[in-house]
A and B are shown apart, each in its own frame.
Chain A
Amino acid sequence: MATRETSLKKSSPALFQQVQGVLRTQEGVLLIITIISVLILATQTDKFLTVKNLLNQGRLMTEIGLIALPMTFIIITGGIDLSVGSIVGLSAIMLGYSWHNLGFPLEVAIAIALGIGALAGAINGLIITRFRVPPLIATLATLAFYRGLAEGIAQARSVTGYPAWFFDLGQRETLGIPNQLYFLVIGIVISAILLSRTTFGRSLYAIGNNELAARFSGIPVNRNKVLIYAFSGFMSGFAGYVLVSRVSTTRSDMGSGWELDAIAAVVLGGTSITGGTGSILGTTIGLVLIQLLKNGLALSGVTGDATIVVIGSVLILSTLINIVVQRRLRGV
């Protein structure tokens, strides 16, 4: 074992250092924690580490994942969006309402739902940038407002009876992989490229590090902020569509509490809540870690109430480990 390692070191020192470098990043540490958790859980039950179960988990985490991506952008700028769960509910209701009550074709109703999501997000952005309301307060207000709107429009009715093709996205699979998982993967790739390979993405870090400096360097701070909140609303709307397709009904209480699940995935993934640092890779690992923990614990026979306690502890522990490791590496 030792000789192989040395030979590897000798033959390609660059590669080895690269691997070592990756493992030293926040994401690397988190990845190691994830792998260790998976291995431990796999010893507890043989039902956990199967392709079928893992793909099924992918199906279940897609909605939160779609929301966590733009949430990463927003938190990197030092903002937060608490209204995402309510936008999920509002979009879901608008989908059902415009199809069932207003008589639009279902395809148009889906477009309306996504549009309403984006609009609701843009409104968040406008309130935050134009009226200088702190994001926490602005989106706390719209959290209540959008949910109230959803309940008012729904008028206590859930919409059901969608045609069979509508369930393709949420309940069926292509080439053995749940359909919605493709969209999550595409979303992850696009978001990752957007964040790390474009000037737009770099501007988000700049805003998070020092907004004033960003403004003086000519970054269109307000425009970019409105864009990411609108993107967040759009993805919440899309998550609402995916959820309706998965559970085959529309309710006004859909998505309640999801903002916290999405934020948990983002901050576990190493994005600083004060802004300036973070990555889509980290968010993705955070998302997967939480989902696999929930699932693995349930499959090993841990009951629901104990599971949330364990998850809470793991969140704190992995954040602590990461802080300690990063400090050591920086030699502070």
Chain B
Amino acid sequence: MRKFVVLTLVLSFILAPLAALPAVAQEEEKRWDGADDLPVNPLPCGDEPAPEPEPKEYDGGQPVNPPDLAGKEITLVDVPKLIGIGYFAATTKGQQEAAEELGNVKVTTDAPTEANIDEQITFIDNYITRGVDGILFAANDPVAITPVLKKALEQGIRVVGYDANSLPEGREWFVNQAEFNGIAKALLDSLAAEKGEDAKFGIVTSTFTTPNQARWIAEMWAYAKECHPDMVWLETLEAQEDYNLSFEQANTLIDKYGDELDGLFGMTSVATPAAADAVTQAGLCGEVAVVGLATPNAMKPFVNSGCVKSVVLWNPVDLGYAAVYVMRQVVDGNFKPGDTEVEAGRLGKLKVVNGSEVLLGPPFIYTAENINDFDF
């Protein structure tokens, strides 16, 4: 009898939340809202030019009594989401190139080996204690990282973000590799070109709340509704930033939807090659198109074999390069709140958007014609 009661208790605890899940699940449209309550801003369809963005007031944070280091040698630390993956190795390379060019910047990259919010916070905290002149970061979570960045600003340390933003008050500037709506447009237009306007697709992403991926998906949702209304959004699966998991999730989509599936989007630099690998191994090249964000080296085999037609990305080397230049200009007093552009070495002048963001440029699409020219 008692055993029965306990069993019922355990089972009901296990089943009750499962029964409640459908009620919890929001309607689809609301679900893909970027997990941050920000508005979406889809670009016009086709080749129509994008409207000029409305000017927005500077909304970044400012360091408290930063030492005057204009023209002097500065020591920077770079804390990306994680180390040991090609993408952040490429941003590091760009940073070193900029540092070498400038001659008066020393930058070291140090971060956890897994994309983990509390470990990243600990890394930054330790560097604040150690004392650096500036911090470059790519956030694992926009909100969670902000308190520790504010602590850095309070101690007079300069803070510039790149790749993945914090809340605006946590940094002075953020170097935005590509606007979210631009990436969304490039991805969907590429799939439409390959598979037609009625393509059915699945997505493999990192997590539903990772800042970049969540925003891209939100913009994709908005842009698809406007410009590719007949496309069918089958399912979105999480796979961290883990190759094996991404491979498994891509296989899940292939097995689950079979012939229905026309395309797979990879939202991370590991999910895209993993999806391409899964499609190749399933012998479905040509049947299932793979479009996604990835670094060229990881995609070369698939692009050269013809299995993948287009890889969307910016140039991460340029991104790291720009971050260091922006930091130097900030320290030298050449780039202040209210400015509309900033000089960034070989990249020329970069535009300021969204109040306190520096835009790297439009996304770049790697194809069989150009991918072999890149090595990162």
A in complex with B: yes
Docked-complex contact A304 and B111, CB < 8 angstroms: yes
Range of interface residues on chain A?
A: 35 or more
Q: Digit string of A202-236 for contact with B (CB within 8 Å is 1, else 0)?
A: 00000000000000000000000000000000000
Docked-complex contact A299 and B126, CB < 8 angstroms: yes
Docked-complex contact B123 and A304, CB < 8 angstroms: yes
Q: What's the Cα separation between A130 and B11 when bound, in Å?
A: 13
**B:254-294 near A, CB below 8 Å:** none
Q: Digit string of A142-179 for contact with B (CB within 8 Å is 1, else 0)?
A: 00010001011111111010000001000100000000
Q: B121 at the A/B interface (Cβ < 8 Å)?
A: yes
Docked-complex contact B9 and A152, CB < 8 angstroms: no
**A:290-329 near B, CB below 8 Å:** 294-295, 298-299, 301, 303-305, 308
- Which residues of the other chain, B, contact A153 by a CB distance below 8 angstroms? 17, 21, 24
* Minimum Cβ distance to chain A for residue B208 (Å): 3
Q: A257 at the A/B interface (Cβ < 8 Å)?
A: yes
Of B24, B127, B129, B238, which one neighbours A53 at CB under 8 angstroms? B129
Docked-complex contact A305 and B83, CB < 8 angstroms: yes
- Could you give 30 example pairs across A and B, Cβ below 8 Å? A45-B130, A47-B129, A52-B129, A119-B13, A123-B13, A126-B9, A126-B10, A130-B3, A130-B6, A149-B17, A151-B238, A152-B21, A152-B24, A153-B17, A155-B26, A155-B31, A156-B35, A156-B207, A156-B214, A158-B143, A158-B209, A171-B147, A247-B117, A247-B147, A248-B146, A249-B144, A253-B117, A253-B207, A301-B130, A303-B110
- Which residues of the other chain, A, contact B141 by a CB distance below 8 angstroms? 158, 247, 249, 251
Q: What's the Cα separation between A305 and B25 when bound, in Å?
A: 39
A-B pairs with beta carbons under 8 A, tally:
106
Q: B39 at the A/B interface (Cβ < 8 Å)?
A: no
* Minimum Cβ distance to chain A for residue B303 (Å): 31
Docked-complex contact A295 and B126, CB < 8 angstroms: yes
Q: A243 at the A/B interface (Cβ < 8 Å)?
A: yes
Other 19 A-B pairs with CB < 8 A, given A155-B26, A247-B121: A47-B130, A52-B129, A119-B13, A126-B10, A127-B10, A130-B7, A152-B21, A155-B208, A156-B207, A158-B35, A158-B209, A247-B141, A251-B144, A251-B209, A253-B117, A254-B117, A304-B111, A304-B112, A304-B123
Q: A20 at the A/B interface (Cβ < 8 Å)?
A: no
- Which residues of the other chain, A, contact B83 by a CB distance below 8 angstroms? 304-305
Of B6, B31, B112, which one neighbours A156 at CB under 8 angstroms? B31
Docked-complex contact A247 and B144, CB < 8 angstroms: yes
- Which residues of the other chain, A, contact B21 by a CB distance below 8 angstroms? 152-153
- Which residues of the other chain, B, contact A248 by a CB distance below 8 angstroms? 143-144, 146-147
Q: Digit string of A29-51 for contact with B (CB within 8 Å is 1, else 0)?
A: 00000000000000001010000
Docked-complex contact A155 and B25, CB < 8 angstroms: yes
Docked-complex contact A247 and B112, CB < 8 angstroms: no
